[in-house]
Chain A
Amino acid sequence: MRADSVSKRYGTRDALRAVSFEISDGERVAVIGPNGAGKTTLLGILAGALRPTSGTVSLRPEEVGWVPQQPALYSKLSVAENLRLFARLEKVADVEGTVGRMLEQTALGDRARDEVGRLSGGNRQRVNIAIGLIGEPVVLLLDEPSASLDPRQRERLWQFLSALGTTVVFSTHDIGEAERYADRLLVLADGELLFTGTPAELETATGATPAAPDFETAFVRFLHEQGH
């Protein structure tokens, strides 16, 4: 996946300013940055849910799996019905087979007939991700996938994603999560791409000091130094 000079403007405000990067097959990339940095806007554009004001994205929306921050599910439909609906809309060849596979992957087979509105936040997020995966996308985009999950649910979620082997781009403002689960980081602040590299490279760039002994504090200091 490649993004070339992607910009997005809302009225007079620049949400993204000429952001460019490339993502290789199988990579897990975290988009990190403070609130309002443009993470959700960038993922929305990569997913085809938003149109950029300028710039291009190499993949078509149909090739990308999209998992928005809030589970985009019909709470009055059951888990299986939600999966079936989106499988049909994605024009999947074997709808029932795909639904069965997704139920198996999400380990929600025993909750297949339950209405989504009755599921826990973690299970709802699993269904949300399963729908993102239903069209067998080249890249899976997740917008703050663990935001509403407790640590145990978060751990299970990452086990599930790791087992997929798909290229994953996720946004988070949890620096620890990015450091732990991402192969590469994209640091955004005020719509500007400040850094691309591995967590180790970012750690080196931020340079832990007695004043900022941990990665998160060093990251905040890094943003300050960059004028954000």
Chain B
Amino acid sequence: MRWLLLKDLQILRRSPLLVALLVIYPIVIAVLFGLALSGGPDKPRVAFANLVPPGETEFTVGGRTLDVGNYAGDLFESIDPVRVDTREEAIAKVRDGEVLGAMVIPANSTERLRATLGLGGGDPPVIEVYYNADDPVKRRFVESTIEARLADANNALSDAVLREAARYIDVIVRGGDISLPLVGAIEILGLQRSQGIIESVARSLPADSPERVQLAQVARFARLAADNLDVSRPILASIGTPVGVEQHIVEGRKTSLDSFAVAVAVTVSLMFVTLLLAAGLLALEREEDAFGRLVRGLVSRSQLLTEKIILSALCALAVTLAMLCGLAAFVGLDWSRIPAWLAALAGGSLGFAAMGTAIGGLTREVRAASLLAFLLALPIVFLALVPSGSVNAGLYSVINVVSGAFPFKPALRALDGAINGGELWLPIAHLLALTAGFSILARIALRRFG
């Protein structure tokens, strides 16, 4: 077998155009994918559970009545809402991949808003957001969509709170009536009037004057002013974000988009290099009419397949490891995980190489093998990158099964796990099973068409 390896390496060395194509094309494709990935899906399906009891959705800020439902309406402009009745139902839809994420408005939201904005203190209302973190692109999209919509809602609330805060300041400066929780309605003297009183007292005050009442009023004002300023602190704090967000990951991990993009780019390159090489090298044996001469006793079909798989996998491993190391220098990956990178790349390259030989086994010419490899590879990549919730649950299950029958999705999972510290061995086991399956298919193809 080593002589076959040597021969194939000699052929590759003398085919600079083919080798250049093998290196440049995957990089171009990877860049295109990266660009495509930077945009998110349009109007994702999001489960929406409003647990606020009917009739309790309104609250008053500065004498103006607002409705929680109005803010949901704003949010629905950028998502496709799937209304559900309970939190559990919303989480189940996320877990099943039926929706991209879920938003739950807890039952106490209006009450908390009233308390926060009515100077009652306490925690601000919190909207719960649930999503799967299996796909960082999807996660970023859900986060940015919800954060943007909540920022709109918070801005509207902030306006109302600011108006109310301005009124309080006006009272403090000029004086007037104000209603405070527990204390009730009180009259505030105001700084201007206080100033007048103090000046008046100062002018007329003998040494032991009886005008103690007026001085007491001044002291009371000072105390109330201090108290009011103290009470207004939580109001000022709530101006920025009157409504908070609490995010929950239903499944998966928090992977940064940058490191996920690296995993996608390297997996795409791994796929193209290995598929094209394995399919091309096997088809070349028949294009050169050497196949018949080889398998009539010189080498067995299985040996020939094994040689093509090993050579393609090793070449692709070397190219993509170099690519990963190069990217790691820019993105800042954890170098101590190199053994895991190697394991993931080896598993992926074996899976793709076996698939490549199956393609090469079906074709008699290198050009036909390359074309078939491209035709198969591109849809496999797109299917593997479809996020859960972006299509209906039945179709997503079909997509999952189809993706699972090809090495791209498990290779991406393995590499993502290797780079970001997630699951590694299960996808590698999946890849090894696919390697065995595709090798058998290639062997049958060689017997059938060889």
- A interface with B by C-beta (< 8 Å): 44, 47-49, 60-62, 66, 68, 70-77, 81, 85-86, 88-90, 115, 131
Contacts and interface: CB of A to CB of B under 8 A. Distances in A.
Given A85-B7, A89-B3, A74 B298 contact: no
B10 interface: yes
B10 A77 contact: yes
B290 interface: yes
A85 B297 contact: no
A70 B293 CA distance: 11
B294 A68 contact: no
A49 B288 contact: no
Contacts of A89: 3-4, 294, 298-299
Contacts, number: 58
Contacts of B198: none
A76 B14 contact: yes
Interface string B1-24: 001101100110011000000000
Nearest to A84: B3
Contact of B10 (A72, A76, A131): A76
Contacts of A88: 3
Contact of B296 (A48, A70, A73, A76): A48
B292 A49 contact: yes
Contacts of A81: 7, 10
Interface in B340-390: none
B289 A72 contact: yes
B298 A90 contact: yes
A72 B292 contact: yes
A71 B289 contact: yes
11 contacts: A49-B293, A61-B297, A66-B293, A68-B292, A68-B293, A72-B288, A73-B289, A76-B10, A76-B14, A85-B4, A85-B7
Contacts of B15: 76
A125 to B, nearest CB: 12
B180 interface: no
Given A49-B295, A76-B14, A89-B298, 13 more contacts: A44-B292, A49-B296, A66-B293, A70-B289, A73-B288, A74-B7, A74-B11, A74-B290, A76-B15, A77-B7, A81-B10, A85-B3, A88-B3
A72 B293 contact: yes
Contacts of B14: 76, 115
Contacts of B291: 72
A76 B289 CA distance: 13
A66 B11 CA distance: 23
Contact of B297 (A44, A62, A76): A62
B288 A74 contact: yes
Closest 10 CB pairs of A and B: A61-B297, A72-B293, A70-B289, A89-B298, A49-B296, A72-B289, A48-B296, A76-B11, A88-B3, A72-B290
Nearest to A81: B10
B364 to A, nearest CB: 12
Nearest to B450: A49
Nearest to A60: B297
A203 to B, nearest CB: 35
A77 B296 contact: no
Interface in B310-368: none
B231 to A, nearest CB: 86
A139 to B, nearest CB: 14
A68 B3 CA distance: 22
Interface in B1-59: 3-4, 6-7, 10-11, 14-15
Contacts of B293: 49, 66, 68, 72, 86, 131
